[in-house]
Amino acid sequence: MKPLTFSILRLLSDNEFHSGETIAQGLGISRTSVSNALRGLQEAGVTVHKVNGRGYRLLDPVQWLQTDLILEHLGEDVAGNFSLEVVDIIGSTSSLLLQKISPGLNSCSTPVHVVAAELQTNGRGRRGRQWHSGLGDGLTFSLLWQFQQGASFLSGLSLAVGVAIIRALESSGIKGASLKWPNDVMFNFCKLAGILIELQGDMFGPTVAVIGVGVNLKLPKSVQARIDQGATDVYAINGELPDRNKLLAALLINLVSALKEFEQHGFAPFMKEWAKYHIFENKPVTLRLPDGSSEEGMVDGVAEDGSLLLRTATGGKRYSGGEITLRRTA
């Protein structure tokens, strides 16, 4: 999508019809340019309704992210701690933040750098998967945080981030979400949000973490068709769309609070809260390991480093990686 397409879509976000001639005159372009700019939007989950004699209208108007509104929702005491960038379209918000990390890392330590995108075209998920989203149908953003500790201290960070997301959702009236080890936010065993953390730094510190987050708000069918697992969205849970700017602010507030706590004490303070929300806690599961093998057992919480504790036929074991699925019982 080109910048011109976004300019037109913003004009169409008032839920009214706009003629091609009116749009063209307002933007100083030709009617052909208007028509060309609005082609192929289905791939981004956008449907433009065209009626002869009336013009164009967005079937589902986009609630655009606005930096000033996000900062307002953050509050005066908090907003100054953030460097917030909202972009129309980008391959990956995390990739952009990774490019901002400079030698020595210190230039990125404060304020907290955040990049949010209206449309992310190449979002990354865990184990090489792609995070699929369309224009305005979710929240896709990344946050950069510098830790003085090394990467080994950051075990369990994705679990703490999951707790922060649950806190933000609940404070925003989105109840009933759960967690799946190690980094998924679920609702009724369907994926609601995902987390991907990428680290750069020295073994003994400091380390920069780029925390990528995707939250499904209202996925169109064209986007859902590209997702290879059960997925859900906030609209399916609550029957209405949240204020995107307000929800993003709530997520950022809770993330920063959790990161500060993690920085001081690691994952230990989050263990009980995380287990409370774990969808597979005390349930029989199959854990598929990175080497292709699998292990069956009963989930018995997580360790202080975020490892999954599994009660198996041969005793208790702990795992730091793998894909967990519910095992059917006879």
Provide the annotated active-site residues: 126, 191, 327
Tokens of 136: 């305005």
Contact 151, 240 (CB under 8 A): no
Q: Which of 252, 256, 255, 246 is nearest to 69 (CA)?
A: 246
CA angle 269, 179, 184 (to 5 degrees): 110
170/184 Cα distance (integer angstroms): 16
Amino acid of residue 329 = T
Contact 290, 266 (CB under 8 A): no
